[in-house]
Amino acid sequence: MSLLAGDPRVLSVGAELFADSVRAQAVTVRTVDWRPPMAGSENDLARVLADPRRSAANSTAVDRMLAVSARLVDVVPAGDLLGLGPSDYLHAGPPIDWDRASGPLRGALIGAALFEGVAASPDDAERVLAAGSSISLAPCHSRSAVGPMAGVVSRSMWMFVIEDEATGRRTYCSLNEGLGKVLRYGAYGPEVLDRLRWMSAVLGPLLQTALRARGPVDVTALLAQMVQMGDEAHNRNRAGTLMFLRELLPALIGSGAPAGDVAEAVRFVAGNDHFFLNLAMPACKLALDAARDVPGSSMVVAMARNGTDFGIQVSGTGDRWFTGPAQVPDGLFLGNYGPADANPDIGDSAITETAGLGGFAMAAAPAIVRFVGGAVADALATTSRMYEITLAEHPTFSIPVLEFRGTPCGIDVTKVVRTGILPQINTGMAGRAAGTGQVGAGLVTPPGSVFADALRALAAAAPAVC
């Protein structure tokens, strides 16, 4: 429409004075709740926003993410799958070495070394790991994998294999151990190792047999259903876990395995409300990996923490990590634990938020918001706020209480830097000291600097403003 063709509908951003003077002429004017961007980011913002590739690049990234259909196609040991030897360990978050590793990550690595028989005692394991010469550490993300909390994967652990039906691309994740004293929270006591041994000896093979007999499970479809059943797929996976069990139960029973093993496996899965988390995470990664490496795209494709650093990767900047200090979550503590016992934020599970679930789908799971003493309205407000920093609304993950609006997905670095609104992450809390296990759960955000740093790299790769 031509500017002069009629009464223009007016939007005002900035000084309230100008909006007021339009209102004084009896003309309706809407306003923007504008805030200054992160300090010193103005030139980078202009350069990235002026990048002629940006708009199409972000559309491409979003379309690729949304086109992925994740299916669980197999369950196999990590060793052959990922080419891991007894001393090769994967971990959550951006790259890190033993010296900078936090308590829970060290604890989980000690546990893995004991589990793989590389060390005879925790002290022995610590010596071997600290020496480093015979050990290799790599982020899960560097091997198409994700791991919750410490995210430590070693060769004898069994992995879910998630595949995109259309492209055949795959991602991987270990099997969830449950809550409390577990390896991923940094515990490595005998009960932790016994559970891992049982998972490798009984649970993994059983799931493999059942799944191969039954055929692939559509994880994306389960995610869509569970979001309508009160799960946000990060801190609440109750409905997803039960639906997954329902999918697999006939094949488990019909597998011919000893009834006692089947019963034990079913009891284990049904008793662990977070079992589905380890399917949700690789499904989210599969979708986000499809959006990687689109030149000019400012969409975040990974958020991950190693207990020391919080890192993000962005579509337009390849595999580069932008890192800053991981924050301590705000939340509720188990038993006598308190904030001083909590380790900074850890785990690859923020991949769920990156894909539009977890904190971004908080409105679907109001129970979660009470981790910080909030009200149901806060859950709705959190999801609503995330639309301010995302590129799209998910066509499959829809929230009943928001009139089935799709969850906010595809975090845009430029929007985070402009608004200062940080992604809301729901998370568990690991004990600061190695060997402690879980101490609580709560809410956390990334350090804002990682988005400003990513923006700077995007700006450096963009043409100058003409």
Partner 1 sequence: MSAAGGPDVEYVEARRGAYADSVTLLQVTRRVADTPGVRGALVAMATDLNLDLARGMGFSVPESAGPNDLLIAVRAEDEAALAAAKDAVLAALTAPAGATAAPTDVPPATTASALRREPADLVLVSVPGPSAFAEAADALDAGCDVMIFSDNVPVEQEVALKRRALSEGRLVMGPDCGTAVVGGIGLGFANAVGPGPVGLVAASGTGAQQLMSLLDEAGVGISACLGVGGRDLSAAVGGLATVSALDLLDADPATELVVVVSKPPAQEVADRVREHADRLRTPVVLGLLGEGQPDLTALAASVLQRLDRPAPEWPRWTPRSVADPRPGSLRGLYSGGTLCDEAMLLAAGSLGRVLSNIPLRPDWRLDRTLRSPGNLMIDFGDDDLTRGRPHPMIDGSLRAERLLAEADDPTAAVALLDVVLGYGAAADPAADVAAAIAKACAAGLRVLVALVGTAGDPQNREEQAGRLVDAGAEVFASNAQAARAAVSLVAGARE
19 binds partner 1 (CB under 8 A): yes
Q: Which residue in 51, 159, 139 sits closest to 88, CA to CA?
A: 139
Tokens of 124: 């022995």
Nearer to partner 1, 25 or 133 (CB): 25
| Shortest spacing between CB 155 and partner 1, in angstroms | 28
Pairing of strands 330-333, 438-444: antiparallel
Q: Which residue in 409, 411, 416 sits closest to 451, CA to CA?
A: 416
Nearer to partner 1, 145 or 369 (CB): 369
Report which residue type is found at 175: L
Which window, 12-20, 72-80, 140-148, 301-309, contacts partner 1 (CB under 8 A)? 12-20
Which window, 82-90, 286-294, 415-423, 443-451, contacts partner 1 (CB under 8 A)? 415-423
419 binds partner 1 (CB under 8 A): yes
Binder to partner 1 among 212, 388, 445, 449 (CB under 8 A)? 388
Q: What distance in Å separates the CA atoms of residue 158 and residue 115, rounded to the nearest whole number? A: 13
Q: Which phi and psi (to 5°) does residue 124 adopt?
A: -60, -45
Q: What distance in Å separates the CA atoms of residue 110 and residue 114, rounded to the nearest whole number? A: 6
Tokens of 128: 């071997």
Q: Is 397 exposed, middle or buried (0-12, 13-18, 19+ CB in 10 A)?
A: buried
Nearer to partner 1, 340 or 464 (CB): 464
| Shortest spacing between CB 93 and partner 1, in angstroms | 26
249 binds partner 1 (CB under 8 A): no
| Shortest spacing between CB 51 and partner 1, in angstroms | 10
Residues in 353-382 at the binding interface with partner 1, rule: CB under 8 A: 367-368, 370-371, 373-378, 380-381
| Shortest spacing between CB 301 and partner 1, in angstroms | 21
Sheet holding 70-77, edge to edge: 145-146, 170-174, 158-164, 70-77, 217-218
Nearer to partner 1, 49 or 221 (CB): 49
Nearer to partner 1, 132 or 271 (CB): 271
14 binds partner 1 (CB under 8 A): yes
266 binds partner 1 (CB under 8 A): no
Q: What distance in Å separates the CA atoms of residue 82 and residue 147, rounded to the nearest whole number? A: 14
30 binds partner 1 (CB under 8 A): yes
Consecutive H or E run containing 442: strand 438-444
Pairing of strands 70-77, 217-218: antiparallel
| Shortest spacing between CB 29 and partner 1, in angstroms | 8
**Sequence-ordered alpha helix ranges (H) in 70-201:** 78-82, 103-115, 122-131, 190-198
Residues in the chain: 466
Q: What distance in Å separates the CA atoms of residue 123 and residue 114, rounded to the nearest whole number? A: 10
Residues in 317-346 at the binding interface with partner 1, rule: CB under 8 A: 332-336
| Shortest spacing between CB 223 and partner 1, in angstroms | 22
10 binds partner 1 (CB under 8 A): yes
Nearer to partner 1, 307 or 442 (CB): 442
Assign 3 to helix, strand or coil: coil
Residues in 80-109 at the binding interface with partner 1, rule: CB under 8 A: none
Binder to partner 1 among 46, 120, 166, 270 (CB under 8 A)? 46
Nearer to partner 1, 249 or 376 (CB): 376
Assign 230 to helix, strand or coil: coil
Q: What distance in Å separates the CA atoms of residue 412 and residue 54, rounded to the nearest whole number? A: 11
| Shortest spacing between CB 44 and partner 1, in angstroms | 11
Q: Which phi and psi (to 5°) does residue 122 adopt?
A: -55, -40
Tokens of 402: 């928001």
Nearer to partner 1, 46 or 130 (CB): 46
DSSP letter string over 253-303? HTT---HHHHHHHHHHHHT-TTTTHHHHHHHHHHHHHTTTT-TT--BEEEE
Q: What distance in Å separates the CA atoms of residue 462 and residue 466, rounded to the nearest whole number? A: 11
Binder to partner 1 among 266, 421, 433, 461 (CB under 8 A)? 421
Nearer to partner 1, 98 or 333 (CB): 333
Residues in 425-454 at the binding interface with partner 1, rule: CB under 8 A: 440-441
12 binds partner 1 (CB under 8 A): yes
Q: What distance in Å separates the CA atoms of residue 170 and residue 61, rounded to the nearest whole number? A: 18
Size of the site for partner 1 (CB under 8 A): 72
Report which residue type is found at 183: L
| Shortest spacing between CB 7 and partner 1, in angstroms | 5
User: Per-residue contact track with partner 1, 276 to 315, x per CB under 8 A?
Assistant: ----------------------------------------
| Shortest spacing between CB 391 and partner 1, in angstroms | 10
Residues in 172-201 at the binding interface with partner 1, rule: CB under 8 A: 178-180
405 binds partner 1 (CB under 8 A): no
Nearer to partner 1, 20 or 319 (CB): 20
